[in-house]
Chain A
């Protein structure tokens, strides 16, 4: 597979503030990469560096094999979609779409053909003569995507394109972006802090924290084998249970409750303070629990019915444990239930470094 975007040793400072530090990232041709992370971790900054809207402090950026570190945004073969749409308010949709092409002095017929094609793909043909104020949020975002589409670029950059939309529209457009990607097969780099968007859209997710990529992997690996406590806690809702304990000879002792980690694929040997991470959806109760390698009797404290399922709060060895149960299961506070899970499906972290072991 060929490389589409390649970032080597990239650093960016705003004055004394180091936002990105020696960051490396390789994106394959046609890949959908999602940059995910909490607010202020440098996602937009990274995207702006790739787009050429920010001058990098150090490092190099290659797009389609060409070193574009010093190139203007228009010469990089990128299109960008912004969170606030950034449509030119005085121009009609058609003029908005064709602006970049007209700036590049493309022949009129070619401009028309491209605008027509983009409008067709995004189903905004009836809106071409309207001004942005006369459009709904979803329509505006389509136009914004169309503006990148007409330029026929290799790489699409999205900066939280859906976060100004309501939940329903966000779902619809998410599917459309996915469809667009399957149809066009462009490289897409997509910034979000919505983990559902990340999980559903991405070929690979880059989880960022303080300007550093914590883990870069496919959604399945990110979810099941988080590389450290930050990634483990960031992905998943409700978030992963962290049981602190002492790891000794393949058994972790969680405040007096020994949990044998049979079949867990250790990546390194460690004895000492450790954290066992268990996803709420991997905890079973009742008859299901009886089949699990580890079982324990516990008392329900809080019950949160979510509709599709129920989240219950309990304690294991004095530490908070939440689990997800089917909606039909009747649970109430004070009830004693048998819960169980397979420690091999969990994640064990070094308590000191926070890294997976």
Chain B
């Protein structure tokens, strides 16, 4: 006997059909209110300083001295922004943040691709072309991630000086590449390790070699993880202060260092509005990167970036 036969013989009126049906209505619970309250408060906590910075940067100095920290400017002015960008003084030079910005662009634009390409090849070799001692090498590399920077800076300065690269653009790029290597290699190795090894074997049977498999099979698959790497490196290198101060030299001083110089240079009065504008300008690049790439970042992480 089939089930249809059974159900068709049941009297339909026997069941009360007036009860709940379809999706359950959403109710506002205490818990939910609590969660939202917490989220709104935390957002305020982090946004308030930003608000203060923005309004301060748009006020004139006399208005700032009145001391109404949170108020919208009575007299809106963009002069502090122009000054921060173009004419603010760091020591004797009065060119604003502009040169620093372009230096940072140069450093970032070179360091990010160089470090990522090397890390990618490292990770690929370490996960697919296991050779004697590759595990040891990986261990050492990971250990590198835990060595405090301060320990290596002095020897690195000597090394760079001997190579004639100290205080040059290639010098700072090399430094960023070295210090990005442990985390980036780990990222790529784990990503490649999460791919089935049979994919690699199939490539070999099909006759592709080390570079063939890398470029034609692995590279197209590593787009999501590369987006993560680009974001990590771009923001990391842009925000760097220590290496920039030490290794870049006066010619290639990045924006962060220049910002510091502007803020700490005290010739006469402290121009809070210019300082605020300069700070926002410097932070703008990583902020924009986060806003644009947030979605991709999450997608990349979900694609196995943090697996293994």
Binding site for B on A (CB under 8 A): 48, 51-53, 72-74, 78-80, 82-90, 99-100, 103-104, 147, 151
Q: Give the residue name and chain of the B residue nearest to A76 (CB).
A: B205
Could you list 11 examples of A-B contacts with CB < 8 Å?
A51-B201, A51-B205, A74-B206, A82-B201, A88-B203, A90-B220, A99-B216, A100-B205, A104-B207, A147-B202, A151-B206
**Which 10 residue pairs of A and B lie closest in terms of their CB atoms, listed nearest first?**
A74-B207, A100-B206, A86-B198, A90-B220, A86-B202, A82-B198, A103-B207, A73-B205, A80-B205, A86-B199
Other-chain contact of B205, A79, A84, A85, A104 (Cβ < 8 Å): A79
Q: Which residues of B contact A88 (CB under 8 A)?
A: 199, 202-203, 217
Dominant SS among interface residues on chain B? helix
Q: Beyond A82-B201, A88-B217, is A99–B196 a contact (Cβ under 8 Å)?
A: no
Judge whether A84 and B196 touch: CB under 8 Å.
yes
Other-chain contact of A147, B198, B206, B217, B221 (Cβ < 8 Å): B206
Q: Which residues of B contact A82 (CB under 8 A)?
A: 198, 201-202
Q: How far is the CB of B154 from chain A (nearest CB, A)?
A: 41
- A interface footprint on B192-215 (CB within 8 Å = 1, 0 otherwise): 000010110111111110001000
Binding site for A on B (CB under 8 A): 196, 198-199, 201-208, 212, 216-217, 220-221
Judge whether B205 and A90 touch: CB under 8 Å.
no
Q: Could you tell me the distance between the alpha carbons of A279 and B34 in the complex, rounded to whole angstroms?
A: 70
Judge whether A80 and B221 touch: CB under 8 Å.
no
Other-chain contact of A90, B198, B204, B207, B221 (Cβ < 8 Å): B221
Judge whether A89 and B221 touch: CB under 8 Å.
yes
Q: Give the residue name and chain of the A residue nearest to B208 (CB).
A: A103
Other-chain contact of A74, B198, B204, B216, B221 (Cβ < 8 Å): B204
Q: Which residues of A contact B206 (CB under 8 A)?
A: 74, 99-100, 103, 147, 151
Q: How far is the CB of A303 from chain B (nearest CB, A)?
A: 25
Q: How far is the CB of B303 from chain A (nearest CB, A)?
A: 12
Judge whether B199 and A73 touch: CB under 8 Å.
no
Q: Give the residue name and chain of the A residue nearest to B207 (CB).
A: A74
Judge whether A83 and B205 touch: CB under 8 Å.
no
Q: Which residues of B contact A147 (CB under 8 A)?
A: 202, 206
Other 20 A-B pairs with CB < 8 A, given A53-B204, A87-B202: A51-B201, A73-B204, A73-B205, A73-B207, A74-B204, A74-B205, A74-B207, A80-B201, A84-B198, A85-B198, A86-B198, A86-B199, A88-B199, A88-B202, A88-B217, A89-B221, A90-B217, A100-B207, A103-B206, A103-B208
Q: Could you tell me the distance between the alpha carbons of A52 and B206 in the complex, rounded to whole angstroms?
A: 12
Q: How far is the CB of B277 from chain A (nearest CB, A)?
A: 45
Judge whether B212 and A103 touch: CB under 8 Å.
yes
Q: Give the residue name and chain of the B residue nearest to A75 (CB).
A: B207
Q: Which residues of B contact A83 (CB under 8 A)?
A: 198
Q: Which residues of A contact B204 (CB under 8 A)?
A: 52-53, 72-74
Q: Could you tell me the distance between the alpha carbons of A209 and B203 in the complex, rounded to whole angstroms?
A: 30
Q: Give the residue name and chain of the B residue nearest to A104 (CB).
A: B207
Q: Which of B196, B198, B216, B220 gathers the greatest number of chain A CB atoms within 10 Å? A: B198
Q: How far is the CB of B40 from chain A (nearest CB, A)?
A: 41
Q: Which of B204, B206, B212, B217 gathers the greatest number of chain A CB atoms within 10 Å? A: B206
Q: How far is the CB of B205 from chain A (nearest CB, A)?
A: 5
Q: Could you tell me the distance between the alpha carbons of A99 and B206 in the complex, rounded to whole angstroms?
A: 7
Q: Could you tell me the distance between the alpha carbons of A248 and B206 in the complex, rounded to whole angstroms?
A: 60
Q: Which residues of A contact B207 (CB under 8 A)?
A: 72-74, 100, 103-104
Q: How far is the CB of A286 from chain B (nearest CB, A)?
A: 33
Q: How far is the CB of B68 from chain A (nearest CB, A)?
A: 58
Q: Could you tell me the distance between the alpha carbons of A106 and B205 in the complex, rounded to whole angstroms?
A: 16
Q: Which residues of A contact B217 (CB under 8 A)?
A: 88, 90
Q: Could you tell me the distance between the alpha carbons of A51 and B196 in the complex, rounded to whole angstroms?
A: 18
Q: Give the residue name and chain of the B residue nearest to A81 (CB).
A: B202
Q: Which of B205, B207, B220 gathers the greatest number of chain A CB atoms within 10 Å? A: B205
Q: Could you tell me the distance between the alpha carbons of A73 and B196 in the complex, rounded to whole angstroms?
A: 18
Q: Could you tell me the distance between the alpha carbons of A79 and B212 in the complex, rounded to whole angstroms?
A: 18
Q: Could you tell me the distance between the alpha carbons of A245 and B196 in the complex, rounded to whole angstroms?
A: 50
Q: How far is the CB of B255 from chain A (nearest CB, A)?
A: 37
Q: Beyond A90-B220, A90-B221, A103-B212, is A53–B205 a contact (Cβ under 8 Å)?
A: yes
Q: How far is the CB of B210 from chain A (nearest CB, A)?
A: 12
Q: Which residues of A contact B202 (CB under 8 A)?
A: 80, 82, 86-88, 147
Q: Give the residue name and chain of the A residue nearest to B200 (CB).
A: A86
Q: Which residues of A contact B201 (CB under 8 A)?
A: 48, 51, 53, 80, 82, 86
Q: Could you tell me the distance between the alpha carbons of A104 and B205 in the complex, rounded to whole angstroms?
A: 12
Q: Give the residue name and chain of the B residue nearest to A148 (CB).
A: B205
Q: Could you tell me the distance between the alpha carbons of A79 and B204 in the complex, rounded to whole angstroms?
A: 11
Q: Could you tell me the distance between the alpha carbons of A72 and B210 in the complex, rounded to whole angstroms?
A: 12
Q: Which residues of B contact A79 (CB under 8 A)?
A: 205
Q: Could you tell me the distance between the alpha carbons of A99 and B205 in the complex, rounded to whole angstroms?
A: 11
Q: Could you tell me the distance between the alpha carbons of A100 and B203 in the complex, rounded to whole angstroms?
A: 8
Q: Which residues of B contact A85 (CB under 8 A)?
A: 198
Q: Give the residue name and chain of the B residue nearest to A157 (CB).
A: B205
Q: How far is the CB of B153 from chain A (nearest CB, A)?
A: 40
Q: Which residues of A contact B220 (CB under 8 A)?
A: 90
Q: How far is the CB of A75 from chain B (nearest CB, A)?
A: 8
Q: Could you tell me the distance between the alpha carbons of A103 and B204 in the complex, rounded to whole angstroms?
A: 10
Q: Could you tell me the distance between the alpha carbons of A89 and B217 in the complex, rounded to whole angstroms?
A: 8
Q: Could you tell me the distance between the alpha carbons of A280 and B203 in the complex, rounded to whole angstroms?
A: 46
Q: Could you tell me the distance between the alpha carbons of A100 and B220 in the complex, rounded to whole angstroms?
A: 17
Q: Could you tell me the distance between the alpha carbons of A100 and B201 in the complex, rounded to whole angstroms?
A: 12
Q: How far is the CB of A118 from chain B (nearest CB, A)?
A: 14
Q: Could you tell me the distance between the alpha carbons of A151 and B206 in the complex, rounded to whole angstroms?
A: 8
Q: Could you tell me the distance between the alpha carbons of A80 and B220 in the complex, rounded to whole angstroms?
A: 23
